Amino acid sequence: MKAIKTLVAVMGILLLGGLGLLGYGLTTKTGRNAKPTALADFGAVAIPLPAGARIEQMAVAGERVILRIAGPGPERLIVLDPAGGTVTGSFVMTPEAPAVAR
C-alpha cells in the first residue's frame, strides 16, 4: 500500500511540474513574438502618376499595398510598403503581339 501512495505522489509531482513548464513556455513565447501596434509616421509620400491616370483598385497582399493604375497608356501595378512609406516597385502591363499562324 505504501508503494502505491508513493507512486501516486510522484506522478502528481510530475504532472504539476509538467503543467508548470507548459505554462512557462506559453508565456515566454507569446511575449517574444509581440509586434508593434502602431506604424511610425512617415509624412506625405508623393506617388507619381501619368497625366489622366487614376487609381482603379487597391489591395493588400501580406505587408504590402498594391494599387492598380488605369488611364492613358498601359495599366500599371504599384507596390507600396506602408510601414516605411515607400514605393517598392511597379509592374507595367504591356500587350503581347498576336501570334502569327503559319
Tens-digit pLDDT profile for residues 34-77: 666 666 677 787 888 888 999 999 999 988 999 999 988 889 99
Percent of the chain clearing pLDDT 90 (strictly above): 45
Domain residue spans in the chain? 1-34, 54-92
The string over 23-62, giving b where at least 16 C-beta atoms fall within 10 Å of a residue's C-beta and e elsewhere, is eeeeeeeeeeeeeeeeeeeeeeeeeeeeeeeeeeeeeeee
Instruction: Look up the pTM and report it.
Output: 0.55
pLDDT of residue 19: 95
Of 18-22, 23-27, 75-79, 93-97, the poorest mean pLDDT is in: 93-97
Higher pLDDT, residue 60 or 85: 60
